[in-house]
Amino acid sequence: MKTFFLATFIIIIISPVAVAQMGDLMIKSSDKGLYVDHKVTAKENFYSVGRLYNAPPKEIASFNGLDMEKGLNLGQTIRIPLLETNFSQSVNEGTPVYYRVGKKEGLMIVSNSNNKVLLENLRRWNNLSSDKLNAGDKLIVGFIVSGQLPMITINGPEKVKENKPVVEKKEAIVEQKQTELPENKMASPKANLNTVVMDGSNPEATSGYFKSFFQQQVKTLPVSKDETVTSGIFKTTSGWQDYKYYMLIDSVQPGTIIKIVNPSNNRSIYAKVLGEMSGIRQNAGYDVRISNAAASALEVNETDKFIVNLNY
């Protein structure tokens, strides 16, 4: 059963490079306990990494057998311990931590391999209708609770207590409710009560906040892709006032800015890539998904599949 990617990104601008390069967090284990890997980026130290993952810097240094006084090296991979203070397996939201299913592993084995997380929670987080799994499936097995990492919220029957972390600065909140959308259906761009006002005197209102970033991007990475794709929509509270539009697409680095054109009216906007589509059952039949604010700005009237052109 493929992982069901519902949910919700809260993108924090504290360390955009680190977030863009981080990708999915895959749980690992050692004789010291469970952990996830982190690749050190420019200007990072034990304290900034500790804030990012809500883990004490001394715990990180000790877990890795490192001397805090010697600092960290660019490109170095360190282990981030999953502690009671920063890792939860009983909440509905946070930064998801994934487990890759091995051969002949069922849900009980996955549970036993990951702190005996409740089977009910595994079923909920991953929208599983059966405990039978396929090798290679990627399952959510818990959440890092941090105010500085991309975050999702999985909504469903209130059987799991929610734990809302303190967010210092938000760039986007993206939500797609499990109980709201049947499989292979998309939210209407008008599902949010707000609407994007197309004010021609404001360049951000017509093309979006990320247009200038796209112009900078093409100076180093000239446009090489011109594609016509089938798109769906995910719900978001971002873009209605700040004109920040987002999208999901495979094989494109998160953080990349893509120009999106509605061929029916030639309206265009610029959207930032949040992540991938592959391996997510809800995305079957779609090449990309765009935020509902982006769809509204493009004057997309469809509530199911529609065509857009991409340039990047």
| Domains defined for the chain, CATH in brackets | 10-175 (no CATH), 203-311 (2.40.40.10)
Q: What mean pLDDT is reported for the chain?
A: 79
**226, pLDDT greater than 80:** yes
Confidence of residue 205 (pLDDT cuts 50, 70, 90): low
Share of the chain above pLDDT 70, in %: 76
3-state secondary structure the chain: CCCCCCCCCEECCCCHHHHHHHCCEECEEECCEEEEEEECCCCCCHHHHHHHHCCCHHHHHHHHCCCHHHCCCCCCEEEEECCCCCEECCCCEEEEEEEECCCCCCHHHHHHHCCCCCHHHHHHHHCCCCCCCCCCCEEEEEEECCCCCCCEECCCCCCCCCCCCCCCCCCEEEECCCCCCCCCCCCCCCCCCCCCCCCCCCHHHHHCCCHHHHHHHHHHCCCCCEEEEEEEEEEECCCCCCCCEEEEECCCCCCCEEEEEECCCCEEEEEEEEECCCCCHHHCCCCEEEEHHHHHHCCCCCCCCEEEEEEC
96-149 pLDDT, tens per residue? Answer: 999 999 999 999 999 999 999 999 999 999 999 888 899 999 999 999 998 788
What pLDDT, on a 0 to 100 scale, did the predictor assign at position 190?
A: 41
